[in-house]
A and B are shown apart, each in its own frame.
Chain A
Amino acid sequence: MPTITYAGTEVTVNDEGFFADPGQWREEMAPLIARQEGIGELSERHWQVIKFMRHEYAAKGTGPTVRVLGKTSGVSVKELYQLFPKGPAKAAAKIAGIPKPRGCI
């Protein structure tokens, strides 16, 4: 798998740029990943979602879908799309250093 360097640390990612090992993630990497996703500045609301993503991943082994995020993160789906215009579940997972959410069939 490819590697990429954030904040001086080399991390392993998949073909789409999602972290292979969430343990390699550190907070100072988030703004750098966000910039690649087209998000200039991470606000407090962004951080609320990013921390929620990491918490959910630690508890359940997969990141939540957008619908579940809207129900449980304290941020509505509408606002989630304003924060992460390219798609909240994927972008927030990438910035939070967790694997791509599995979603469902």
Chain B
Amino acid sequence: VRKRIVVLGGGTGGTLVANRLRGLFDRDAAEITVIDPDDRHVYQPGLLFVPFGRATPAALARSRSRQFRPGVTFRQAAVDRVDVGRDEVWLADGTPVAYDVLVIATGARLVPEETEGLTGPGWNEKVFTFYTRDGAAALERALSGFTGGRLAVAVLDLPIKCPVAPLEFCFLADSYFRKRGIRDKVELTYVTPLDGAFTKPVASRELGGLLADKGVSLVTEFNTGEVDGAGGRLVSFDGREVGFDLAVVIPLHSGQEYVNRSPGLGDELGFVPADQQTLQAKVKPNVFVIGDAADIPASKAGSVAHFEGEVVARNITRYLAGEPPDASFDGHANCFIESGSGKALLIDFNYDTEPLPGRFPGRAGLPLLRQSRLNHLGKLAFGWLYWHVLLPGREIPAVHSQMPAAGKHLPSAGSRSPSGKGR
């Protein structure tokens, strides 16, 4: 009997897991269907460069359906809800789609309307986000006309996709204004709800130091309650204010709305709770989660979805063979951090090991947590790898699902951060 594997979402995680599964199952053993409401796949890491005129929104998007291996069916449709009790997905047009295994890969969604004032006066005029193509394009126009004043970059709350992107924006903005010869006329401020520049201590110190080097002021433990675009103020819930002439905000994130319409599937924010090792959804053993849609203590980043792909695909094959899941995800994430002036840092970490200095993937590799030209070239090369290696579900040579320890300057075992502790 052909098994029916249904993947919701044709972004990074959905595409690469569908392609991996196609390689693992004969066509008469399993049919693989990916469902997504549109046929536009956006290379999200590229959005960071749009505001600075270094990438165009059009160049970042390709057809979703063309990223699949032959034998993967793409169905362009919106999902109304999942009935996990009956193993059925209900499409928005009222059609049921039955499955043996379901993969949730529908990512995270921006909900700017959840922050008071954010989508009010000044939205996309004085207050922007670069997390969408339209927003990034509007910000590019605003930046090119910006001749000086206060620029605030604000993370409103966590979780967000790519938690390093707002820091990268600050570093690139510093370079950008320098190049235009107006850096001394721009006051740059980074506003975060965290108690430092980043979630993990060693990287937080390093990145905080980099902000200071570039003359970016850091405002911490700022939980933004209101964005007053007309008045040019960010107001925290405890009554503090940061003034701006131009604000770049990372809006709150949620899971997709169909998750909230699917009894038992998601949490309060619409993310899907899953076992952080097996990536099996807590609601039922034949539901798996990959990428930003998951409620697990890992970064919402493409590299995480890539490393999860191997684990999810293997555990699905085991589930369909009547075996318990044995593949285990260690929380591995790997991110290039653009630091401006043609340089970048690289960080590599997992649930147990915070980003540390050293080299990746081994002692002769790229420098970790340190600016270098090589890392910048790595970041640029990654765009090609994304479409040609990562999405097709191939392995990147020497880069594995499990985080490598060789090359890292590991502290003694006792001082590692405990498992599962996020902030």
List chain A positions with a Cβ less than 8 A from chain B: 64-68, 71-72, 77-78, 80-81, 85-87, 102-105
B157 contacts partner chain A, Cβ-Cβ < 8 Å: yes
Partner of A72, one of B199, B268, B298, B423: B268
Q: Cα distance A67–B420 when bound, in Å?
A: 20
Can you list 15 A-B pairs with a CB-CB distance of less than 8 A?
A66-B223, A67-B269, A71-B268, A81-B238, A85-B238, A87-B221, A102-B420, A102-B422, A103-B422, A104-B158, A104-B159, A104-B422, A105-B163, A105-B199, A105-B299
Q: Is the interface of B mostly helix, strand, loop or mixed?
A: loop
The interface bits of chain B over 84-110 (1 if a CB of A lies within 8 angstroms of the residue's CB, else 0) are 000000000000000000000000000
B268 near A102 with CB under 8 A, answer no
- Residue of B223, B268, B423 near A104 (CB, 8 A) is B423
Q: Which residues of A contact B151 (CB under 8 A)?
A: none
B window 397-423: CB within 8 A of A: 420-423
Interface size on B, residues (CB 8 A): 22
Per the bound structure, the CA–CA distance linking A80 and B267 in Å amounts to 21
Whether a CB of chain A sits under 8 angstroms from the CB of B237 is yes
B contacts, CB < 8 Å to A: 157-159, 163, 199, 221, 223, 225, 237-238, 252, 267-269, 297-300, 420-423
- State in angstroms the CA–CA spacing of A39 and B267 once bound together: 31
CB distance from B193 to the nearest CB of A (A): 9
A67 near B225 with CB under 8 A, answer no
Query: How near does chain B come to A5, taking the closest CB pair, in angstroms?
Result: 27
Q: In the complex, how many angstroms separate the beta carbon of B230 from the nearest chain A beta carbon?
A: 20
Among residues of A, the one whose C-beta sits closest to the C-beta of B163 is A105
B221 / chain A contacts, CB cutoff of 8 Å: 87
Given A81-B225, A105-B199, 11 additional A-B pairs, CB 8 A: A65-B157, A67-B157, A67-B252, A71-B268, A72-B268, A78-B225, A85-B238, A104-B158, A104-B422, A104-B423, A105-B158
CA distance A52 to B299 in the complex (A): 28
Give chain A nearest CB distance to B272 CB in angstroms.
14
Most chain A CB neighbours (cut-off 10 Å) among B297, B298, B300: B297
Q: Is B238 a contact of A102 with CB atoms below 8 Å? A: no
**Which residue of A has the minimal Cβ distance to B349?**
A105
Cβ-defined contact, B297 with A104, below 8 A? yes
Q: Do B158 and A77 touch (CB < 8 A)?
A: no
CB closest residue in chain A, given B156: A67
Residue of B nearest to A64 (CB): B268
A85 and B237 CA atoms in complex are apart in Å by 9
Question: In the assembly, what is the distance between CA of A105 and CA of B238, in Å?
Answer: 23
- Chain B nearest Cβ from A102, distance in angstroms: 5
CB distance from B6 to the nearest CB of A (A): 28
